[in-house]
Structure 1
Amino acid sequence: MSDTPIGREVLVVANSRSGVSVGRPDRVPDVRRRMPGATVHELAENETLDEVVASATSRENPPEVLAILGGDGSVSRAAHLARRHDLTLLVLPNGTFNHFARSAGIPDVDAGLDAYAAGRVRPVAVAEATVDDGDPITVLNAVSLGAYPEFLAERERRTSLGKWWGGAVAAWREMHDATAVDIARGGKRASVWSVFAGVGGNDPGRIATMQRATLDDAVIDVRVHHARGTRARAIVSLAFGERTVRVLRALRLMPPASDIERILDKDFEIVVQPGSSPDIWVHDGELEEVGRDGFRLRVRAVPEGLRVYLPAP
């Protein structure tokens, strides 16, 4: 039997700020117990994930695995850094929604630790999002502009209320203040409430495809919500839970199918026109500011772009 401690090749970064608002227990002791050989780093207030990973990979014995204990934003950034430093990603979900982790069959921290113990590594498809001539950003789930980023920005202004009440107030405000976005693609212009570009083919009946349906499908599934209906429908269309969508559709509150354009492509590009409303966009729930002079957004599928520990079939 080997005397090598389990997890010796793993760097675990724990983002203690993930899930705090919903009172999740501290899972760091469980990680230390099950991977006693791992290097566990709890992210400090003034640290970034980028700095921690860059420091660890520059040492004499760099890690081979990057484990992230956190929510969707932390997992997405860890995926970007795992690709940059040629590391395998281990997801230990500890956020509010955990979109990618659920798609990967990892509902909680214990399931992630089980996946590591099973040693099953698979490549999965990802996307790269680029604004103008900037550096590509790894995307695990979806990119969006329009109503959803505006909703998130409004909710973040009300963090003291908590996510639920902050979201309710933000939705109410956006129902009155949402503004259509002018975009261009392939020489054609359109006024839209929102654009969602998800990784992999997804349910054709959804608009807000914030959680991917497959891990291997290297395609960008785009939903363009044309601004033909009311602001209220623009906000209602952001519902992503399956049951919620079914209820809203039964009540005829969702936008009609004629207002939604679906595009399947491996490389999707649009231009937000100068003077149009958004100066922000979202990738995997993370807001990015771009300025108000218009911008070009490109989302490109990358087959087998990331190595991930996954549960055994």
Structure 2
Amino acid sequence: MTTDGSGLLILRNSRSGTAVIRTDPADLFAERLPGARVYELSQGQDLADAVDAAFTGGDPPRVLGVHGGDGSVSRMAGLARERGVPLLVMPGGTFNHFARSAGLEEVETAVDAYLAGDTVEVAAMEVREGQGEAILALNAASVGAYPELIEERDKRRRRFGKWLGGIIAAWRTMRTAEPLEIVRDGRRARVWSVFVGVGTNDPKRVATMQRETLEDPVLDIRIHHARGTRLRAIASLAFGKRTAAVLRAVRLMPEKRDVERLLETEFEMTVRPGPGRPEVWVHDGELEEPRGEEFTLRFTVIPTALTVFAPRPR
């Protein structure tokens, strides 16, 4: 960490956050971090390729920074962990779940933390599909109704945009969603969804897409058993406090007895989608398509997975 940003590489994903209006931070970077290298990702370019190129030269970065959404932040977190360097997170997406959990509501707040040298050791989780490579996730992973909704939204995103595409996707999913079967510890269950979040979360919610703590090394698991209606299944995906409170007030959220909660450091399940159902799962908003109709996911919490610049708690 330096006072002018020397040794800092910032990668920007211009495709993130197109559904919201944000101020371009280029002037802020030039004024407060003149020594940093700022690189704009081109269409289709992978973060890993850009990071590899930066570390190939004679002056590798000592800090990795990312300006983008949750998918970009999660991907960069994995790369920072691999390289053993700290991560500077700057919100540039639509929801910015991890950045908000870290108290980084604005890019300037993140720059302040970097220049002050304020850091926190962040817990994360590794998700492994079958015998594949582990994926680092900062917020949550899910199977069931939420991945279906994301897949439907992405099909319509180019034509309608993220927000309107999301509304259309929610309407379609509400009419067509079906339970899937999971197997854990030798027991089968029909479920609407399973969320595996990092760190303890609000016990009243089903969708744990935004963690409440950064350092808590635990998996907060919510299994929504398929005993209610499709409408309740979609309502359960509300992750905003206000939205969830409204849906709970009008009794659209699932019954308490329908949602099983587990606090673990490891979790494993085999997923069996029904005939004709999407074979997808999602981590930090990024869709994955398994290689077979039936697939196994293993989740492992990683204490102090990486160092992130963030304001110190008051």
Give the structure-1-normalised TM-score. 0.96
Q: Which amino acid aligns with 1:209?
A: T
Partner of 1:302: 302
Match of 1:82 among 74, 80, 101: 80
Q: What is the CA–CA distance in structure 1 between the aligned matches of 2:266 and 2:312, rounded to whole Å? A: 31
Q: Is the 8 A contact 1:14 1:28 kept in 2?
A: no
Q: What is the CA–CA distance in structure 2 between the aligned matches of 1:237 and 1:274, rounded to whole Å? A: 19
Partner of 1:122: 120
Q: Is the 8 A contact 1:145 1:278 kept in 2?
A: no
Provide, for residues 179-221 of structure 1, a one-character-per-residue CA deviation record: whole Å limited to 9, x for no partner: 1111000010000000000001111101001000111110100
Alignment CA distance shift 1:82-1:166 (3 Å): same
Q: What is the CA–CA distance in structure 1 between the aligned matches of 2:116 and 2:40, rounded to whole Å? A: 25
Partner of 2:148: 150
Q: What is the CA–CA distance in structure 2 between the aligned matches of 1:227 and 1:158, rounded to whole Å? A: 27
Q: Is the 8 A contact 2:68 2:93 kept in 1?
A: yes
Q: Secondary structure at the match of 1:22?
A: coil
Partner of 1:134: 132
Paired residue total: 310
Q: What is the CA–CA distance in structure 2 between the aligned matches of 1:274 and 1:204, rounded to whole Å? A: 27
Partner of 2:20: 22
Structure 1 residue 22: deviation in Å? 2.0
Q: Secondary structure at the match of 2:161?
A: helix
Q: Equivalent pairs: percent with the same residue?
A: 54
Structure 1 residue 225: deviation in Å? 0.4
Q: Which amino acid aligns with 2:176?
A: D
Structure 1 residue 5: deviation in Å? 6.6
Q: Which amino acid aligns with 1:47?
A: Q
Q: What is the CA–CA distance in structure 1 between the aligned matches of 2:119 and 2:174, rounded to whole Å? A: 44
Q: What is the CA–CA distance in structure 2 between the aligned matches of 1:166 and 1:274, rounded to whole Å? A: 24
Structure 1 residue 28: deviation in Å? 2.1
Q: Secondary structure at the match of 1:20?
A: coil
Partner of 2:232: 233
Give the structure-2-normalised TM-score. 0.96
Provide, for residues 234-274 of structure 1, a one-character-per-residue CA deviation record: whole Å limited to 9, x for no partner: 11110011011111111111110011000110001100137
Provide, for residues 63-82 of structure 1, a one-character-per-residue CA deviation record: whole Å limited to 9, x for no partner: 11000011111111110110
Q: Which residues of structure 1 form unaligned runs of 5+?
A: none
Q: Which stretch shifts more, 42-51 or 178-187?
A: 42-51
Provide, for residues 76-101 of structure 1, a one-character-per-residue CA deviation record: whole Å limited to 9, x for no partner: 11101101111110001111111001
Q: What is the CA–CA distance in structure 2 between the aligned matches of 1:279 and 1:50, rounded to whole Å? A: 26
